[in-house]
Amino acid sequence: MSSRRKFIHAAALACSASALLPYQGLAMTHNYKSALKKDYLPIGMAGYSFVNYTIDQTIAIMNRVGINHLSVKDFHLPLDSNQQTIDDVLSRFKAGGIQVYTVGVIYMRSEADVDRAFDYAKRVGVNMIVGVPLYDLLTYTEKKVKEYNIRIAIHNHGPEDKLYPGPKDVYDRIEKMDPRMGLCLDIGHAFRAGVAPDKAVTAYAKRIYDLHIKDVTAARADGKAIEAGRGEIDFPAFIAALRSINYKGVCSIEYEKDMKDVLPGIAESAGYLRGVMS
């Protein structure tokens, strides 16, 4: 653990240095993407990280840290958006060098919610939804997966979640369903639920379609979100597990600490993650 913490400063230096400057209006003049080598695994952002930011601010922050994959949330692109609004929002992200690769997290509490989610994903043009359907909607969700040929990655939300606290709670319910029914493994919430992320990766390898990456202070329900590398998750073991299963998806950082000042923490987390990958 001590060696991992010492490594933070060197691993995050290139990204975190940029965090010392104001980001607003500097997305293009301080764009670090061209200076970074291609990530071993694509690093993205879970849209919830930007709940307090506009689309333009989100693009600027992502440009500053060289991240160009985004799971878009409904506060930036509402579920009931018409096609013109969808096209306009996607054009803004594309012009900023950001690829919207999935949508969510979307909560599904009725068949109408499921219908709306799949129609929305189709109109956005993505092939995956990060979602949370109620248990009695799983069969109906599977029907829509087959109809639309759009995968669903069900998100685990930790000990407080009565539906899917850990990845096993997802996997046990979808294991025998269509293979396009899978998991969005949130490693921080899994860890708080008592599951080591590297063990979850190897146990549920065939159904892990997306990742939400955060560190936490303790493997307990009261563990708090913190910058990657500062908490208790064994990131070298986690990345090694992803390599071992030949993971093909995106590793999306979900930054939930200091959510009105996310740039320094995202920069440090991205730098640390890249350092471990390398």
- Predicted local distance difference test score (pLDDT) of residue 142: 98
Residue type present at position 20: L
The domain segmentation of the chain, as residue ranges, is 2-277
Q: Note the pLDDT tens digit of each residue in 217-273.
A: 999 999 999 999 999 999 999 999 999 999 999 999 999 999 999 999 999 999 999
Determine contact, residues 234/190, Cβ cutoff 8 Å: no
pLDDT above 80: residue 6: no
Confidence tier at 25 by pLDDT (50, 70, 90): very low
- Predicted local distance difference test score (pLDDT) of residue 26: 43
CB neighbours of residue 242 within 10 Å: 22
Q: Note the pLDDT tens digit of each residue in 106-149.
A: 999 999 999 999 999 999 999 999 999 999 999 999 999 999 99
What element of type H or E holds 84? helix 83-95
101 vs 6 pLDDT, higher one:
101
- Predicted local distance difference test score (pLDDT) of residue 38: 62
CA distance 88 to 85: 5
CATH code of the domain occupying 2-277: 3.20.20.150
- Predicted local distance difference test score (pLDDT) of residue 8: 47
pLDDT above 80: residue 7: no
Where do runs of H (alpha helix) occur along 125-234? 138-148, 167-174, 187-192, 197-203
> What global pTM score does this model have?
0.88
Sign of the alpha-carbon torsion through 27, 53, 256, 67: negative
CA distance 142 to 57: 36
Residue type present at position 94: K
Query: Residue 101 is encoded by which pair of tokens?
Result: 């690769």
Query: How does strand 215-216 pair with strand 151-155?
Result: unpaired
Residue type present at position 127: N
